[in-house]
Amino acid sequence: MLHLQISDARKLIIETGLALAERKLILGSWGNISMKIEKDCFAITPSGRSYDQLKPDDIVIVNAEGVKMAGIRTPSTELKMHMALYKAHPEFNVIVHTHSTYACAVASMRKTIPPFIEDMIQVIGGPIRCAEYAIAGTEELAQNAVVAIGNNNAALLANHGAVCCGKNMRETLNVASIVEKSAQIFCITEQMGGAINIDAKTAKILRAFYKEHYSKRQAGEEL
C-alpha cells in the first residue's frame, strides 16, 4: 500500500503531465494519468483540461469503483479503463494513457509490436499487444485493455493510443517512453523487411533480470 498524501499525489500527477507533454507523449488535454494513493483511494486527471493549466484541486479523487470522493472536476473519460486495470493488477500503482504519434500509428494498423528490443522486453514484458477496438471511455474498451495487457505493463488501444502501467511514476513514465520508441522502431523496421524477434527463452531471462534487479536499482532498493 502507498502512503502518499492526497496533496502529494495531486502535485506528482501534475508534474508527470508536464513531463509527458514535454516528451510529446501527450498533447493538449488528451491522455490521462492516475495514481493509487491507497487500496480504495485513487487520484486521476480531470476530463478536458490542459496539462499546463492544471491546479492540484483539479485532480479528482475516486474510490476503487471509480466513484468520486473529492474534487470539483469530472474525472477523465477513461476512468473505467484505469479502474479495471487496477482491479486486474494490484501491483500497478500508476497508469498513464498516451496519444503519442508512433503508438497511434501502430494502433491504427491494429498491429502488435513484436518483442524485438531488449529494453521493451525488460520493462514492458514482451510484445505490446493491440487491444480490440472499442469506443473511447466505454467499459468494453476497459475490458479489451485488460485482455491486451495480460501480464505485461503496456498495450496499444486500436485507433486510439496506448496505456502504460507501473509500480511508480518513474517506471510508468519509462514504460510510456519505451512504448513510443518501440512503435517508432517498428514503423522503421517494417519498411526495411521486418525486425528479427528475441526468442522466448532469452526474453524470459531479460524480464527476470529487470524485475529482480534492475528495477530495484532504479528505485534505490538495491545497490
Q: Annotated catalytic sites, by residue? A: 78
As to burial, measured by CB atoms within 10 angstroms (0-12 exposed, 13-18 middle, 19+ buried), residue 188 is exposed
CA-CA distance, 147 to 139, in Å (whole number)? Answer: 13
- The CB density around residue 110, as the number of other CB atoms within 10 Å, is 14
Amino acid at 165: C
State the minimum distance, in angstroms, from the CB of residue 220 to Zn ion. Answer: 32
Report the SS3 class of residue 26: coil
Strand partners, 42: 36, 62
Q: Which C-beta is closer to Zn ion: that of 4 or that of 84? A: 84
Q: Which C-beta is closer to Zn ion: that of 35 or that of 117? A: 35
State the minimum distance, in angstroms, from the CB of residue 173 to Zn ion. Answer: 17
State the minimum distance, in angstroms, from the CB of residue 33 to Zn ion. Answer: 12
Provide the phi-psi class of 59: left if phi over 0, else alpha when psi is between -120 and 50, else beta: beta
State the minimum distance, in angstroms, from the CB of residue 142 to Zn ion. Answer: 12
Task: Name the residues that contact Zn ion, by CB under 5 A.
Answer: 161
For residue 27 the three cell numbers come to 498533447
Q: Which C-beta is closer to Zn ion: that of 41 or that of 176? A: 176
Q: Which C-beta is closer to Zn ion: that of 30 or that of 209? A: 30
CA-CA distance, 214 to 73, in Å (whole number)? Answer: 38
Residue nearest to Zn ion (CB): 161
